Structure 1
Amino acid sequence: MEEGGGSPHRNRALHRPSPSFRLRSPSLNTVRLRRVFDLFDQNGDGEITVDELALALDRLGLGADPDELASTVAIYIPPGRAGLAFDDFEALHRSLGDALFGAADPGDEKAAAAAAAAEEEEQDMREAFRVFDEDGDGFISAAELQVVLAKLGLPEARNIGRVHEMICSVDQDRDGRVDFREFKHMMQGISVWGA
């Protein structure tokens, strides 16, 4: 055990960048970064001074040498200002991200947009799945499908045999019900077929 009771692994963990440092979605990254900026801006004046940044890092257990911190941050503070405005803080964050992970690929924005669209599609499918999964057990049973079909006024709802056939047509693991993966596969098939 080290003197002072600290863990020998603690400092090594601080040097590994968090996978969440740079999010795939630029808009989510900006929102998250704005929250961090507001937390660091102790007096709420719209600027983070080197002292405020040092205090925040110290509270997070990431104490930095004040002189090194000042020299690193100084290049991002425009002349005549006491600290980093949000845009300056964002530039500092981007620069640190580039240093830790390499420069962002210009294709990242396209990939981020595609990832955001895929995430939105996934959320929409989960919401649709919850409409069918009335008891919230993670499966759509024939009885649940029949109820939804009846609410939609579809004639298939009158015949439970037809409802079972509908379930069987997408029930890949043959357990008599549809899980989210099977539902998603079915919905993607409909989207492609209908396009």
Structure 2
Amino acid sequence: MGRPLRADAERSVRAILEAAERVLAEDPGASMEQIAEAAGVARTTVHRRFTSRQTLIEALAVSAKRQLMEAVEDAHLDTAPPLVALHRVTANTLRIKSVWRFTLGHPLADTPLTAMIWSEINDGALEFLARAQREGLLAPDADLVWVRRVYYALVDEALHGSGADQDPDQVRKNADALATLIVDTLLRGVGLQG
């Protein structure tokens, strides 16, 4: 990897990535010029930082997956009480996924690095579910791979219910209430609360 970016170049890259996510979420076919305009930078600046549309999408993917990993880590899945950790990771995930609607659902955003991050997230989810099961939050006979799939589906439904994306600002504002609904729904199906 090259030398670190200067502070102004780093701000420029961040502005481009944020604008690209917003613009592409509204219009997946948007041009690099439209992204540059939304970022408030020259088209040449976008092309200097990202040599192609695919390079930009891959940079978006890395940024999104890293933020998702940070949100998961912030939930302290290995040390917090399982119910607290489950609620926190759910609310954190909803907040991040509502910001990265385009990138986290785009197949061209998959790279070896993002696949590695996603694999870590998936493995960590199973480790957490195993701990939650050992500590009595989940039924002893629950299939943890199935529980993970159902959990991911519930999160996805909260973000994209009825086939239409929920308003990202509303998701972020209501993340705790949505997390409670998701956790309650999950635990009534596979927990001891059933």
Q: Do both proteins adopt the same fold according to a TM-score greater than 0.5, normalized to the shorter chain? A: no
**TM bracket, shorter-chain basis:** under 0.3
Q: Which structure's residues are more often helix, by fraction? A: 2
TM-score relative to the length of structure 1: 0.26
Q: Say which structure, 1 or 2, has more relative contact order (CA 8 Å, 6+ apart).
A: 2
